[in-house]
Amino acid sequence: MDMKKIDLSHESIREALHESPLGAHLQADEIDSILDFASTYEFSTGESVIEEHEIDQNLYLVVDGNVSVEVGSGEKHVYITTLGQGEIFGEAGLFSNTERTASIIAQDRVTLVQITRQGFLKSINKKPKAAVKFMFMIIFGMLSKLRGVNEELAYERKDDVNQEDIDSILSEITPDD
């Protein structure tokens, strides 16, 4: 990662958070209590923020720019989606030490807020009510993503060929002897 650490005012970050479901229900002082333990980074176009399969214990908020979510490599490389201002990724890193399931790539110049697990735990001690609200919004966001994946899977399964379709096609090709 060739990220560049930058200083960004809490006010600028607060604006991005207020546009995000993550910070929409937090007061300015509650956001500041979380941002006290956060860092801001800038990434160049094409730069990798997260590599698939690496272990990373950070949550990221897109303050400016866009990132793409991608899985696989080479011929098996698949684009999943684009995330922009106010959107978050890496939520699972706050809760587990599992490998990342996708790569995150800067599509243009991107400014991100990074909240580490350690920083989040410190914010829980400093302002528990704000941290609980923040955590509920993270969970809500994860459930929303899961719902989207479930709907996509249901759609894909509906379009799957079933055994009756295969039997019908084969019966037309192979006459009964």
The overall average pLDDT reported for the chain is 84
pLDDT: which is higher, 49 or 28? 49
* CA dihedral over 51, 56, 59, 61, signed as positive or negative: negative
| pLDDT computed for residue 177 by the predictor | 57
Distance, in Å, from the CA atom of 110 to the CA atom of 85, rounded to the nearest integer, reads 9
135-155 residue pLDDT tens: 888 888 888 888 887 887 777
Lowest mean pLDDT among 31-40, 71-80, 156-165: 156-165
Model confidence at 29, pLDDT cuts 50, 70, 90, reads confident
| pLDDT computed for residue 18 by the predictor | 75
Residues belonging to the chain: 177
Q: Could you tell me the two tokens for 124?
A: 């829980």
* Residue of 26, 12, 22, 35 lying closest to 126 (CA atoms): 35
| pLDDT computed for residue 175 by the predictor | 63
| pLDDT computed for residue 158 by the predictor | 66
User: Residue 152's domain is classified under what CATH number?
Assistant: 2.60.120.10
Number of domains making up the chain: 1
| pLDDT computed for residue 132 by the predictor | 87
CB atoms within 10 A of CB 166: 10
| Phi, psi (rounded to 5 degrees) for 105 | -125, 135
pLDDT over 80 at 2, yes or no: no
Which structural domain range is residue 141 located in?
4-173
Mean pLDDT of 69-97: 89
Please tell me whether the overall predicted TM-score, pTM, comes out greater than 0.85 for this model: no
Lowest mean pLDDT among 5-19, 97-111, 122-136: 5-19
What percentage of the chain exceeds 90 in pLDDT? 33
Give the position of tokens 């214990």: 57
Q: Which residues pair with 82 in a beta bridge?
A: 68
Mean pLDDT of 76-81: 89
| pLDDT computed for residue 47 by the predictor | 96
- The C-alpha R_g of the chain, in whole angstroms, comes to 21
* CA dihedral over 13, 16, 19, 22, signed as positive or negative: negative
